Amino acid sequence: MSDFFTTNPNAAPSAPQGAADLVKEGTDQGFMADVIEPSKEVPVLVDFWAPWCGPCRQLGPMIENAVRKAGGKVRLVKINIDENPGVAGQLQVKSIPAVFAFRNGQPVDGFMGALPESQINDFIKRLTGDGPDKAEIEALLKRAEESLASGDLGGAAQDFSLAAQSDPENIAPIAGMARVFLAGGEPDKAKELLQHVPEDKKSDPAVQAALTALKLTEEAGDAGEAGELEQKLADNPGDHATRFELANALAGKGDLQGASDQLFHILEAEADWEEGKAKARLLEIFEAAGFASPVAKTGRRRLSTLLFS
């Protein structure tokens, strides 16, 4: 990237930028004057797009509107990569739309894809130092949890990341990102992220939930394929060992509700099977899901009814 981020003697001289220049079209040749130099005064967003890109047409008006609403705290340069592939290539842009934020001449943040306008506004607020307050961070975390539960891993990752950068002392977004990695089939990334949690934060319930979810995923490696296990159970519904293995396989894929249901099936038939093995695993499922999750809240009521009826 050094070719673009050092002084270019052939670059056009930088012009004063008023309100009309908050959003402008850029080129590879003008990158130094339009992005690098102005970013030493205010953050500059670079939106890489192309005329044939549908999501680009969706994102464009929203990000332009958000930049104008910021009232000069941030600027936007739009670069058509069909006509100007140079900087995009240097930044290793693989798909569009791709937005990079520059400050003091260097890329410091960014995102890909057409985000909702609310998330674009949050991104700009974080960049300009007007980030979310405590209540807004809690709302971000709630929205991230809802996205994760619905399978929207991209939306969950965006909100967890925004919450983490807005409140670095809050460990919940880190634990949330670990669970996003697990749900996306990347346990190694989740493990690496959790290994960097400070020792004094590892007892946090959110971290413990993520660690338990990681443990379940790792242990599921020894379980068979869910489809094959379900077929075996169809032939022999009373095979608790196979049902326990199915619960492990489902938990490893992130289907904690499905795993819980299989374990309850064992408990309802034989509460003390294998010296309480199913109950112990069920409690781990509740911890991995999170104390306030529907899986845990409904499951604890169901377990109490089963044990004390």
Q: Which residues belong to the active site?
A: 53, 56
Tokens of 281: 């695993």
CA distances 139 to 77, 132, 135, 145, 242, Å, are 30, 10, 6, 10, 41
E strand or H helix at 289, and its extent? Answer: helix 277-289
User: Can you tell me which residue has the tokens 């845990």?
Assistant: 296
Neighbours of 68 (CB within 10 A): 14
CA dist 164 and 170 (Å) reads: 7
Q: Supply the DSSP string of 84-135, one letter for each residue.
A: --HHHHHTT--SSSEEEEEETTEEEEEEES---HHHHHHHHHHHHT----HH
User: Can you tell me which residue has the tokens 């807004």?
Assistant: 136
CA dist 169 and 178 (Å) reads: 16
- In the chain, the amino acid numbered 281 is R
